[in-house]
Structure 1
């Protein structure tokens, strides 16, 4: 009976309200006294650090890590996603995806995946949802940059003519796009303009987006994107939607829907702070902390949940209830 109470208590915090993402390296994750901890080995002593799993969405395990079966059991009971990745939270090899270990639970809603599949096999509807995601991506950027005073301190303004023109042109392009490939082309042009804008503000005049580059702006962009992928993967797992049913990215990549959902917040948060933190000479840990703080401050995960739920039920006609659950 005691174990049942503890397991239920772990799920008290809704995933959309959880605050923590952990990146760990050179440590051992284990269960100790009913808690999940990670062990760091020092010259004189070993230290145990607690992980508050009930308030955690994702744990990224980098180089030099190991995890025990008992720890995985507790993490799964709390609905925490675990991902293996390379050093610094980004892939170890170019082109390698983080492989997510999803908690196994059959007690998740079915209406969202049914709603998603109700439109996914229709190309026109799939394109409409992809367009909706991109429109909301622009709106979230405008709202976030308008409210974030720290961004304005570095010259990032949502109403700068350069930003306004890029968003206006992209929104028009979204409406006119007749195919996914056309939409992807317009998205690439839009993102390129944002990179140029951010690079000019932070004194990176020769910046070029290259995922294999060793400059700090590119490194932080990679790193921040994978934090966003963690939030997206968690959102989709909670709502019960498989990652392979993408609406825009990678028809040959089984995790492409994670990229679609992560794009909702990447431009607004990851992009500017990657350049700012590189400009300030921050370390990887400081950049991670900044990203996580901004995800929380701007309710990034709430936004992801609402958009995915809305799109899932856009064409769903069944009268099924959602079991009274709010995510």
Structure 2
């Protein structure tokens, strides 16, 4: 088995690691990818297990060598440059991922996606399917996560249950994407209000530029979800521009569509809980990544995208779905 096959032995949907690095240098040394940090009296090298890694975010004060990028690409690891604290993700001023290039990714998923994508009605049907899956994931995660329930966040709370039921009904009745976006915004406000009340954030207002912990954690957690979504789409060979909900004018919009499958279920409540506990940014990041793994968020993204690509609503499609 050659080195390239070795590095991709672990399916992307089963990989456990996301890295966010600051003030460090990423390099290749002795056939491994390492990052170097400068301690008070010495330099410290840390290994990155790239075969079990999906995304590396490079924050302030970081650099990466060409040799390291070559190894990361061979293992199928996405690399993103970002600001302090993981946000914003950028190249210049646009959202950007440095995607590893491979012409041997599967083709059936992008072909299936494009079969429906140019039809407005079918694209709307897929957007609706994503939203219904998003609702069910919230119910599933909030319904079984004992730690969330200990924070007074419950899927069967009367207000939340009614909001989710109402949104599910409205999704089914939506006649255009704009309707979905309006109703999604209303649901998200209701979820913010509920989580804020449960965690004593009485005066919370969502502001992407605010400096309070809850808003900062929401931004940070969302970008981690974007990393998982970008990985899913890259592995399946579907370009980020073929969105079903967030608009055809945004190049990375499909990343947002796919990330939305898990953001409300995991990132939203834990941003408030961790802010209440006054956790550090690193502690919050560890908590979110643990929850992504615990609730198999990446598996769920792969499952939903593959299902819509191969068997979208109102489209006769193949019934098979092979590994990543």
> Does residue 32 of the first structure (1) align with residue 29 of the second (2)?
yes
State the 1:70 CA deviation: 0.1
Aligned residues: 321
User: How far apart are residue 314 of structure 1 and its match?
Assistant: 1.9
What's the counterpart of residue 239 of structure 2?
Answer: 242
On the 8 A contact 1:83/1:101 being kept in 2, the answer is yes
1:204 lines up with 2:201 in the alignment: yes
- Residue 2 of structure 2: SS of its match in structure 1? helix
Q: Report the equivalent of 2:224.
A: 227
The aligned counterpart of 2:134 is 137
> Are the structure 2 counterparts of residues 142 and 47 from structure 1 closer, same or farther at C-alpha, using a change threshold of 3 Å?
same
Aligned-partner Cα distance in 2 for 1:250–1:181:
9
Match of residue 148 from structure 1? 145
Quote the residue 2:189 is aligned against. 192
Distance 1:214 1:319 in 2: 48
Give the gaps of 5 or more residues in structure 1: none
Describe the SS at the equivalent of 1:100.
Answer: coil
Task: Say if 1:306 and 1:318 are closer, same or farther in 2 by CA, change over 3 A.
Answer: closer
Q: In the TM superposition, what is the alpha-carbon distance from 1:97 to its structure 2 partner?
A: 4.6
Q: 1:167 aligns with which of 160, 164, 169?
A: 164
Is the 1:140–1:264 Cα contact (8 Å) retained in structure 2?
A: yes
Cα distance per residue 1:261-301 (max 9 Å; x no partner): 00000000000000000000000000000000000000000
For residues 287-326 of structure 1, the aligned pairs below 5 Å read: 287-315=284-312, 325-326=322-323
User: Does structure 2 conserve the Cα–Cα contact (< 8 Å) formed by 1:119 and 1:125?
Assistant: yes
Deviation of 1:247 (Å): 0.2
Superposed CA deviations along residues 110-140 of structure 1, whole A, max 9, x for unmatched, are 1100000000000000000000000000000
Secondary structure class of the residue paired with 1:48: strand
Aligned to 1:257: 254
2:75 aligned residue (75, 78, 81): 78
TM-score (norm 2): 0.96
Superposed structure 1 runs of 4+ greater than 6 Å apart:
318-322
Task: Please list every run of 5 or more consecutive structure 2 residues that lacks an aligned counterpart in the other structure.
Answer: none
CA distance in 1, matches of 2:180, 2:316: 28
Q: Could you tell me which residue of structure 1 aligns to residue 57 of structure 2?
A: 60
Residue 282 of structure 1, aligned match among 270, 279, 284: 279
**C-alpha distance in 2 between matches for 1:320 and 1:200:** 44
Task: Give the secondary-structure state (helix, strand or coil) at the position aligned to 2:204.
Answer: coil
Deviation track 1:232-273 (CA, whole Å, cap 9, x = no partner) reads: 000000000000000000321100000000000000000000
Q: CA RMSD in A?
A: 1.6
Rounded Cα–Cα distance in structure 2 between residues aligned with 1:120 and 1:98: 22
CA-CA distance at 1:62 after TM superposition: 0.4
- TM-fit CA distance, 1:313: 1.0
Asked whether the equivalents of residues 111 and 320 of structure 1 are also in contact (C-alpha less than 8 Å), the reply is no
CA distance in structure 1 between the aligned counterparts of 2:205 and 2:58, rounded to whole angstroms:
29
Contact conserved, 1:84 with 1:98, CA < 8 A, in 2? no
Distance 1:222 1:37 in 2: 27
Range with bigger deviation, 207-216 or 83-92: 83-92
Alpha-carbon distance change, 225 to 88 in structure 1, aligned in 2, over 3 angstroms: same
Match of residue 11, structure 1, among 5, 8, 13:
8
For 2:61 and 2:45, the matched residues in 1 are separated by: 16
Q: 2 CA distance for matches of 1:266 and 1:92?
A: 17
SS in 2 for 1:253: coil
